[in-house]
A and B are shown apart, each in its own frame.
Chain A
Amino acid sequence: MERILFGDNQFFAVNHISDEKSRAQSIKFKDDAAIIKTLDDARDAGINTFMCTTHDRILNICNIIRANPEKYKDFEIFPCMPYAHKYANAVTELGIVGTLKQYVPGNFFGSLFKGGVAYLSKDYLSIMELLIDSEMKMFKGIKTPVVFLQNVITDLLLGLRAEEIFVAFHQYIRKKYDAEAGFITMNMPKLLDVLEKGGIQNPVICSSINKAGFRMSGGKELYEKTLATRKVRAIAMQVLGGGAISPKEAIEYVCKLPNIESILFGASSKGNINETANLIKKFDKELVS
C-alpha cells in the first residue's frame, strides 16, 4: 500500500463536524468533472490510490478512468463496501429481509423463501458473495488491490460475534478478486483480536487514529500499545481528529507512531491536499534522518 491514500468523504458531503460544510461540498462536487479534477490534484501531489465507498456516483468516475487508460495507468482504487446509507435507508423502509430481497441479484431469494427450511451457513455466505460481486461490478478493469468492509458492517458483525463472516470475506476477496481484504473499524484493538483468532494474520485495518483520541474506542493508549506490539497493517484515518487540533501537530503525531503503513485523508482543494501531503512527507523524512 502507498504511504498516502486519498479518501472520498468530501465528494459525498460526509463531514463529521459541520452540516454547513457538508452542503458546501455537495454544491462543489455536483459534477463528476469536479471530482476528477480533485483526484488529478491528488495525483499531482503523488497520491495514486483512491479509497472510496461503492457510492452510485463512483461508477461514473470509474467510467472516466477506464476511458483514459494511459493517464490513469498507475491509478488504483481501494473499494469500501457497502455504501451503508443506501442499505440503511432501505432497511428503514423494507426491513432486513426486504432489503436483501431488493439488493441480492438473481433469483436466490425466490427459491430460498418458499420453504420453511433452516438457513445454512452456505446460504448466508452465498448472499455475502452475491452482494460483494454486485458492488465490485463498477470497478471492472481497474486495479483494486485491497477491498474493504465498511465500518458500520464490520463493527455490527463484531458486536454480533459473527467472526466467521470476516474470515469468509477475507477468503472470498482473495479467491475471486486476487486482492487483500481490509477492514474499516472504530474498534481496532478488539477487531484485531478477533481477526487473529479467526486465523487472519497481519490484517489490513483502517481505523481512526489521531492525537485527540477521537473515535479510538477502548482508548488512545490501547491503540498505541497495539500498534507498538502487534502485527497489523494499519491505516490511520480521521488523523485530524475532526479538526480539533492543528494539521501540523496532528500529522506529526501519526507519522511518529510505529506500524502505520498508510495515512488516509480527503480534501476538497488543491491547497489542502498539498499541505497535508507535504506535512506527511516532511515528518516521514525527519524520522528517517
Chain B
Amino acid sequence: MLKVALIGAGKMGISHLSILGAHPDVDVVGVCDTSKMVNDFLTKYGKFNCFTDYKKMMDEVKPDAVFVAVPTKFHYTIIKDLLEKNVHVFAEKPFCLTTIQGEELVKTAGAKKLVNQIGYHNKFVGTFSEVKKIVNSGALGDIYHFIGEAYGPVVTKKKQDTWRSDPAEGGGCLLDYASHVIDLINDILSPVSAAKGSLLKSVYSTNVEDAVYSLLELSSGVNGVLSVNWSDDTYRKMSTSVTVIGTKGKIISDANELKVYFKDAIPNGYSKGWNVKYITDLTEEVDFYLRGEEYSAQIDYFVKAATGKVPNTINTFESAWYTDRAISIIKNSSK
C-alpha cells in the first residue's frame, strides 16, 4: 500500500481524494485543508485524518507520496518542502508561477530520484494519445501548421474577485485554460519556443485575461495558432481541441472524437480519406470512474510510478516546466 496524503481539498483536491479513496493500492493517511467545514465533513464521513497545517501532517503521518492541489502561488514553497522530505509529488497544473522556481524543483526531484507528476490530464485522454501516435508515425507527412483551441463558460459575467482573478496567484485564462492546450501541443508536436505575437484579452474580468490568442513557433520550426477563451457560454463545459496539418494529411481532434484525413500513407486500422474514431474506441476502462477516465488513469499511473511499476515519464515536472516557459513567452510577447 502506498501511503498518500493530500494538501488542498478544493475542487480538484476533493476529486483526487475520492479517486484515491477508492484505489485498492492506496492508503490515504492524511488530508490538509484550511476549511473547517470541509475538514469536519471528511473526518466525520470518510474517517480521514484531517489537518490544517501540512507540516504538522507530514511529521505525524509520514506519507510516501503527496498530492498538492492548492492555488498555484503556493506550489513552489510546498513542493520544495515536500521534496526535501523525500516524498513523491503529484501537483495540480500549472506547475509554478516562474520558470526559475520550476527549474529548481525539476533539478531537486531528479537529483533525489523522486516520482514527480503534474495534473495535465489530457495526456490520459485516448483521442489525444492517438493523435500523438499518428503524428509520430509520420503518416501526416511534413507538418506545417497546427491550431490549439479551448473554449468554455468559466467567467461569463462580471463577478466578484477570487484567487482565480488575481494574476499574482495563478489566476487568468492563460494559466488555467490555455496551459492545457499548450501542454498538449508541446507533447504532441514539440515545445513552444517563441511567440510571434499574442493578445491577452479581458472580456468580463478586470484584472486578468479571459481569452488568449497567439501565433506560436515550436522548437521543431512549425508554426501555429493558439485560440483560447473561457468566457464563451455557447459551450456547456471546457472543450479542448487540436488540429494538425501536414503535407500528407490532417487531424482534427477533441476529447471525444478524432477525425483524420490521409492522402496516401495509411497507418494500420485506417483507410484513405476521412476516418472518424470515438473516445469509446480509444478508452481503457478504469477500476473507479469519476468525471472522466483520464482523472483515474493519471492517478493510477502516478501510484504505479511511485511503486516502481511504470517509468515516471508522462507529465513530469520537466514537461510541465516547458509549459510554464511557453506561458511566460506568451505573456512577454503580449506586452
Report how many residues on chain A are interfacial, defined by Cβ distance under 8 Å: 56
Looking at the assembled complex, report how far the CB atom of A239 sits from the nearest CB atom of chain B, in whole angstroms: 13
Cβ–Cβ < 8 Å partners of A88 in chain B? 11, 237
Closest to A20 in B: B257
B332 within 8 A of A: no
Cβ–Cβ < 8 Å partners of B40 in chain A? 118-119
Please report the number of residue pairs spanning A and B whose Cβ atoms sit closer than 8 angstroms: 139
**Quick one: which of A12, A159, A165, A243 has the most chain B CB within 10 A?**
A159
**Quick one: which of A93, A116, A212 has the most chain B CB within 10 A?**
A93
Give which listed residue, A17, A19, A159, contacts B288 with CB less than 8 A: A159
Cβ–Cβ < 8 Å partners of A118 in chain B? 36, 40
**Quick one: which of B41, B159, B287 has the most chain A CB within 10 A?**
B41
Interface residues on B, range: 35 or more
Looking at the assembled complex, report how far the CB atom of A108 sits from the nearest CB atom of chain B, in whole angstroms: 12
Give which listed residue, A18, A26, A244, contacts B281 with CB less than 8 A: A244
Interface residues of B in 129-181 (CB under 8 A from A): 153-155, 159, 162, 164
The answer to whether B279 touches A160 (Cβ under 8 A) is: no
1/0 per residue A143-181: CB within 8 Å of B? 000000000100111111111110000000000000000
**Quick one: which of B35, B154, B257 has the most chain A CB within 10 A?**
B257
Give which listed residue, B10, B17, B239, contacts A95 with CB less than 8 A: B10
Cβ–Cβ < 8 Å partners of B35 in chain A? 95-97
The answer to whether B287 touches A159 (Cβ under 8 A) is: no
Looking at the assembled complex, report how far the CB atom of B117 sits from the nearest CB atom of chain A, in whole angstroms: 19
B47 within 8 A of A: yes
The answer to whether A85 touches B45 (Cβ under 8 A) is: no
B290 within 8 A of A: yes
**Whole-angstrom distance between the alpha carbons of A12 and B236 in the complex?**
8
| Given A18-B257, A92-B164, A96-B38: A156 and B280 interface contact (C-beta under 8 Å) | no
Knowing that A95-B162, A242-B279 are A-B contacts, what are 20 other residue pairs whose CB atoms are under 8 Å apart, sorted by A's residue number? A13-B236, A16-B256, A17-B256, A17-B278, A26-B234, A89-B153, A91-B11, A93-B155, A96-B11, A96-B35, A96-B37, A97-B37, A116-B36, A158-B18, A159-B18, A160-B45, A186-B290, A190-B288, A215-B285, A217-B287
Sampled A-B contacts (26; CB under 8 Å): A17-B257, A17-B279, A19-B254, A19-B256, A22-B236, A23-B234, A91-B10, A93-B162, A97-B37, A116-B36, A119-B36, A119-B40, A124-B44, A152-B291, A155-B290, A159-B18, A159-B290, A161-B45, A165-B45, A187-B22, A187-B288, A190-B22, A190-B288, A212-B280, A218-B288, A241-B280
In the A-B complex, the 10 residue pairs with the closest CB atoms: A159-B18, A242-B280, A162-B45, A186-B289, A119-B40, A159-B22, A217-B289, A161-B46, A244-B280, A159-B21
